[in-house]
Structures are given as structure tokens and as C-alpha cells.
Amino acid sequence: MTFQKHYFNEVREAQKRAHAPYSNFKVGAYLVTKDGQSFYGANVENAAYPMTICAERSSLVAAIGQGYQAGDFAAITITVDADQPSSPCGACRQVMKELCDDDMPVYMTNQTGEMIESTVGELLPLGFSGKDLNN
């Protein structure tokens, strides 16, 4: 799947929903499924910092909650208000490894529309997931 211009507008809309009173670092995620549905995600901070959820995981959890399953996702776009696009944290990379195909595009953007394109597999090389377990 290739980046589509409306992804940037949608991910900026998702970012508006962020709850970041401590860091003021609002992150938005726009997840597209293989059947064309989409889900917004936003970071939601908590005073007990480990309880914070990132935008990437927020969008994936929303999709799973609506009945989607691992492998149903086509692309994710992430945005931040920073000089450079930011990549997903380690926890998000691990969750994406578990729920998304390794070749799924990950588009990282900033407020000016600058973009870095990667894949789940490139962001977590030699990653381990349930796909690696012998059932």
C-alpha cells in the first residue's frame, strides 16, 4: 500500500484527540485495514506514567476491539509536532510485530508533512512474536 495524501489530514485529526497534559507531546495514529476501514489512535497520558498508552497501540486496540484480527492491517500513519518525524517506541514496535505483517508500511510524519517511510519488519528487525511460536 502506498501513502495517500488524505492519510496526513486524517492522522492530524487523530492527533487532536491526544490527552498529553504532562509531556505536551501529542501523537496521532491513523490505521487503515486491508478492507478499507480506518481507526484513529491518540496517546493518552496518565500521572502514573507506565499506564500511558501510545497512539499506535491505541489505534490497534480499537481495531481489535471492533473484531479485526492480526494481519488485517494495511498501513499506519503516525504524526507528531516536532522538527523531525518520530518513530514508534519499543512497546509499539512489539505490538505492531504481533498484530501486523512485517511488510506493512509505517508512515512517520511531523507537522510540516515531512515523512519517513518504513515497515514493521524494518522497525523491529529480528523481532519475536506469536508467529514464531510452535503451536
CATH number at residue 115: 3.40.140.10
Query: Does residue 77 lie in a domain region?
Result: yes
Work out the pLDDT band at 3, boundaries 50, 70, 90.
Answer: confident
> How many domains does the chain contain in total?
1
Per-residue pLDDT reduced to its tens digit, 21-34? 999 999 999 999 99
Catalytic residue among 10, 13, 56, 122: 56
Q: What is the pLDDT of residue 24?
A: 97
**117 flagged as catalytic:** no
Per-residue pLDDT reduced to its tens digit, 54-103? 999 999 999 999 999 999 999 999 999 999 999 999 999 999 999 999 99
Query: Does residue 100 lie in a domain region?
Result: yes
Query: Does residue 79 lie in a domain region?
Result: yes
Sheet architecture: strand order including 105-110 = 38-42, 27-33, 73-80, 105-110, 115-119
Q: Which domain holds residue 111?
A: 5-122
| Helix (H) or strand (E) run with residue 40 in it | strand 38-42
Stretch 102-131: mean pLDDT = 95
Work out the pLDDT band at 131, boundaries 50, 70, 90.
Answer: confident
Binding site, annotated residues for substrate: 43-49
- Name every residue whose Cβ is closer than 8 Å to that of residue 19 and which is 6 or more positions away in sequence: 42, 43, 44, 45
